[in-house]
Amino acid sequence: MPWTEEVFNREYARQFQEKLDRVDVDIVLTSDSNLIAYLDRSNPFAIWTDTPYAGLIDFYPSYQNLCSETQQQLYNLDRLAFQKCRSIFFASDWAANIAIETYQLSPTKVHVVPFGANLDREPDFETIERQIQSRSQTPYKLLFLGVDWVRKGGNIALEVAKALNREGIPTELSIAGCQPITDEPLPDFVNCLGFLDRTKPNDRQLLDRLFAEAHFFILPSQAECYGHVFCEANASGVPCLATRVGGIPTIIRDGVNGKTFSLNASISDYCEFICEALSTLDRYQALAFSSVREYQIRLNWSIAAQQVRDILREQH
């Protein structure tokens, strides 16, 4: 990882310094430690990120089996950056706890502010309400959206859909973002849509339709620092099924806007929750509307930005 080396990041800081010298700023707010680790300015600093580098090491596949030198460089980037910051914001309790424990940070300096849904327009909640009410009790419709089939737990989503159909419960699984990795032909109830580009109108419309029709968004990630897509699902009134790893439990509150499962949960655990939630339309719709509410009060950028702004004003 050449980008972790000190010489690289000192050059990065030099270029950043030149740009900052041309503007008048009250505070430098960044999303990554390496952007400010070697920056020398008198302005106050703050970071808002989904994880310290310490949270990635031996968690994400690309950060496994790193040599000790690279690991130390990553720790140093965090340590130098955090020393400069008056305020440090993390998107989840998981990330905040790792940072506090690894770098002996004062808890008063660390704040948890969840990221919002990355939407190009604000949802029309009258439309969302109609969409929720128009979802029939059967067939069950599950949506998997992710670019990494293995890390995002695509095999679990597929097995859940298979199990429900074996039990005589008609279930459809739509897969977008990647191609499934499987040795067997996909069943007819699986719809593979490939990678969808949100910037293209046709793909955007298709994504909107997928969220509008889905009963559940299922993404049983094996490693995940956060997951904006859970917020986006909630914005469409779609409860989420996910794993209890990384920053996900900060987003998903069990029984409120979905359900989190342990990494060793059985396929039947997922199926039982889905069947129970869809046992009556009233029960399902209550969960779907509760999911929308979580987006409205917690998981949108307006709320998140206001929280960060208020803390920065108070401390600076």
Contacts 24+ apart (CB under 8 A), 79-84: 79/103, 80/33, 80/37, 80/38, 81/30, 81/33, 81/34, 81/35, 81/36, 81/37, 81/45, 81/47, 82/33, 82/47, 82/52, 84/36, 84/39, 84/45
Structure tokens at 236: 């469409």
Model pLDDT, residue 315: 79
Count H helices and E strands in the chain, helices first: 12, 10
Q: Specify the DSSP class assigned to residue 256.
A: T
CA within 13 Å, CB half, 85: 32
Q: Which residue has the higher pLDDT, 172 or 314?
A: 172
Q: How many CB atoms lie within 10 A of CB 147?
A: 10
Stretch 8-12: mean pLDDT: 93
Same fold, 2-116+301-315 and 125-297: yes
At residue 43 the predicted structure's pLDDT band, cuts being 50, 70 and 90, is: confident
Structure tokens at 282: 């009233």
pLDDT above 70 covers a percentage of the chain that reads 100
- C-alpha distances out from residue 296 to 128, 195, 304, Å: 12, 28, 11
CA 164 to chain centre: 26
Q: What is the pTM of this model?
A: 0.95
**84-99: per-residue pLDDT in tens?**
999 999 999 999 999 9
Q: Is the pLDDT of residue 316 over 80?
A: no
Q: How many CB atoms lie within 10 A of CB 99?
A: 24
Strand 45-49 to strand 216-219: parallel, antiparallel, or no bridges (unpaired)? unpaired
**209-246: per-residue pLDDT in tens?**
999 999 999 999 999 999 999 999 999 999 999 999 99
Stretch 187-196: mean pLDDT: 97
Domain covering 2-116+301-315, topology: Rossmann fold (3.40.50)
Q: Which residue has the tokens 């929308």?
A: 292
Average pLDDT of every residue of the chain: 96
Domain coordinates of the chain in residue numbers?
2-116+301-315, 125-297
Stretch 100-120: mean pLDDT: 97
**246-303: per-residue pLDDT in tens?**
999 999 999 999 999 999 999 999 999 999 999 999 999 999 999 999 999 999 999 9
Instruction: State the CATH architecture for 125-297.
Output: 3-Layer(aba) Sandwich (3.40)
**55-86: per-residue pLDDT in tens?**
999 999 999 999 999 999 999 999 999 999 99
